[in-house]
Amino acid sequence: MIKKLIKSRRAIFPAQYNQKPISKGDILEVLDAANWAPTHKKTEPWRFKVLQGEKLVELGVFLSEKYKETTDKFSEFQYNKLRENPTKAACIIAICMQRDPAESLPEWEEIAAVAMAVQNMWLLCTEKNIGAYWSSPGLIKFMGDFFNLKEGEKCLGFFYMGYYDEPSPVGVRRPIEDKVEWL
């Protein structure tokens, strides 16, 4: 049931991942789910970069060193976390948005379409018992120094993926009644 799946989707973090690899077939299915997100003017603005193995180590080194270079209040804990977290994932998919060159849509619509693609990925991961979450550190503004980003392409974060053994955390939301006005 789709409602049950939606409510059971949780952010599962690197500390919870075990070392089990994720098959290429599963990663491709997750990417295909993303590709079916709705999109205004059919711009299909989602772009993905799949990182595994040594690339995860490289990402950790890049993020931690960029942090050291740019922060004005360095913390050893944060440095180590940035360095190690990527290596705990079986796979990280960098979430990118390619702005339509004609700029026929406001940027927010392109970002919204990418976010819908990410929700598709996250729900399919939930169904496959793959832990996942969207990580969006401030350092993503420097990702053009790590990836070859095209003109108009922006990195919006990282979709971490990894199998996990512990039960999913319990979801918490404030009541929907507080967020709705019936007119």
Ligand X SMILES: Cc1cc2nc3c(=O)[nH]c(=O)nc-3n(C[C@H](O)[C@H](O)[C@H](O)COP(=O)(O)O)c2cc1C
Binding residues for ligand X (CB under 6 A): 10-11, 133-137, 157, 171
CB of 122 to ligand X, least distance (A): 8
Provide the minimum distance between the beta carbon of 133 and ligand X in the complex, in angstroms, as a whole number. 5
| Residue 107 to residue 127: CA distance in whole angstroms | 31
Residue (10 or 49) nearer to ligand X, CB: 10
Shortest distance, position 46 Cβ to ligand X, whole Å:
13
Tell the smallest beta-carbon distance from residue 9 to ligand X (Å). Answer: 6
Nearer to ligand X, 79 or 134 (CB): 134
| Coil/strand/helix, residue 167 | coil
Give the burial string for 109-128 (b: 16+ CB within 10 Å, else e): bbebbbeebbbbbbbbbbee
Q: Determine the angle formed by the axes of helices 54-70 and 76-88, rounding to 10 degrees.
A: 160
In the complex with ligand X, the residue whose CB is nearer, 22 or 160, is 160
Amino acid found at 145: D
Residue 11 or 105: the one with the smaller Cβ distance to ligand X is 11
CB burial of residue 131 (10 Å; 0-12, 13-18, 19+): buried
Supply the minimum distance, in Å, between the C-beta of residue 148 and ligand X.
23
Strand arrangement of the beta sheet that strand 46-51 belongs to: 46-51, 91-98, 153-163, 130-135
Cβ proximity to ligand X: between 129 and 136 the closer is: 136
CA distances from 89 to 71, 127, 133 (A): 25, 18, 11
